[in-house]
């Protein structure tokens, strides 16, 4: 299981101008629920997020307000039919633009954005770390010494760092996502500060890996997975391949049966499992497993290798 920490500014970026997509959060929730990732959420990050959410949304709305179609037309344009058409389009755009701003503002106040829903789900599945007196004391000491992370007397980054040093188990690597210069080298902002890397390795006896974006983390560790639903399928297929008992096999088949369809590569993996995994092959006659594989054959029989299809049909019969 990977230990993951996401800094506040990354969460806030989903309300602002960001290249990351909410699908990244959805994928992360899937991985947490499947116990592939443990997300560490500090009280400090939760508080910072609550404090700054409105500010980020306000900035985004301010930029949206500037998206207007303006401009005066020369007097001679009025003699052309296109002028009247353009004036009507301007009026339509202005009215629609105003309605959009009104809807966005209302949803922001009611916390109805999709980002609100996904981030709340993410917070609910995380490992929560309260800011204890001990963590606060160590953060103040760090700041007074001038040790990173931290700036201008602000304790926030130091509190997060001390919380992770205290709570993440020793000898377990940490994957750290932040777009904050407090964590990155002044010589190269694509590299973390040497001090932080060395401190983590010395104190925790493990490695720490830094990323600027959640999408960079997924690109490095799950490069072929574009959608959360596909990620969930891949996890379940791998679980079926390593299933070691009948009860687990039936449980995984139940979860896989909820998906409407599979890519051809996934179909081939599933058939290979049925043929080569004893736990699956021995219960393929059971109603749930038999139904699952029969439906796969029915949907994909034209795409499956003929010899492989014969082997699977032999098992189903």
Please compute the mean of the pLDDT values over residues 113-118 and round it to a whole number.
87
pLDDT at 40: 97
User: What average pLDDT does the structure give for the chain?
Assistant: 87
2-61+119-221 maps to which CATH number?
A: 3.40.50.1010
CB 118 within 8 A of CB 26: yes
Each domain of the chain, given as residue ranges in start order, spans: 2-61+119-221, 228-316
Q: Which pLDDT band holds residue 304 (cuts at 50, 70, 90)? A: confident
The percent of residues in the chain predicted with pLDDT above 90, rounded, is 33
Whether residue 223 is predicted with pLDDT greater than 70 in this model: the reply is yes
Q: What is the mean pLDDT of residues 76-94?
A: 85
Q: How confident is the model at residue 194 (pLDDT cuts 50, 70, 90)?
A: very high
Above 80 in pLDDT, residue 310?
Answer: no
pLDDT of residue 259: 81
In this prediction the pTM is 0.74
Say whether pLDDT at 19 is over 60: no
Name the token pair of 20: 């990351």
């Amino acid at each position: 299981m990977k230990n993951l920490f996401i800094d506040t500014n990354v969460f806030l970026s989903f309300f602002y101008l960001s290249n990351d997509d909410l699908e990244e959060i959805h994928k992360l929730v899937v991985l947490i629920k499947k116990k592939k990732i443990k997300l560490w959420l500090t009280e400090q990050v939760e508080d910072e997020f609550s404090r700054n959410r409105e500010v980020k949304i306000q900035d985004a709305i301010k930029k949206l307000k500037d998206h207007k179609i303006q401009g005066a037309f020369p007097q001679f344009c009025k003699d052309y039919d296109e002028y009247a058409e353009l004036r009507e389009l301007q009026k339509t755009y202005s009215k629609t633009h105003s309605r959009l701003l009104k809807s966005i503002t209302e949803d922001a106040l009611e916390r109805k954005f999709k980002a609100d829903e996904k981030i709340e789900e993410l917070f609910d599945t995380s490992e929560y770390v309260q800011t204890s007196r001990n963590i606060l004391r160590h953060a103040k000491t760090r700041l007074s010494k001038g040790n990173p992370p931290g700036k201008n007397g602000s304790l926030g980054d130091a509190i997060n760092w001390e919380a992770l040093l205290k709570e993440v188990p020793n000898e377990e690597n940490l994957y750290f996502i932040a777009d904050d210069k407090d964590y990155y080298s002044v010589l190269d902002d694509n590299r973390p500060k040497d001090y932080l890397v060395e401190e983590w390795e010395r104190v925790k006896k493990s490695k720490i890996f830094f990323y600027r974006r959640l999408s960079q983390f997924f690109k490095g560790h799950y490069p072929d997975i574009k959608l959360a639903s596909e990620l969930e399928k891949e996890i379940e297929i791998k679980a079926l391949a390593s299933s070691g008992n009948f009860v687990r096999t039936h449980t995984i088949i139940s979860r896989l049966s909820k998906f409407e369809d599979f890519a051809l590569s996934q179909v081939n993996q599933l058939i290979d499992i049925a043929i080569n995994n004893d736990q699956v092959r021995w219960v393929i006659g059971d109603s749930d497993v038999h139904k699952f594989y029969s439906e796969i054959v029915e949907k994909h029989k034209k795409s499956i290798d003929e010899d492989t299809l014969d082997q699977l049909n032999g098992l189903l019969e």
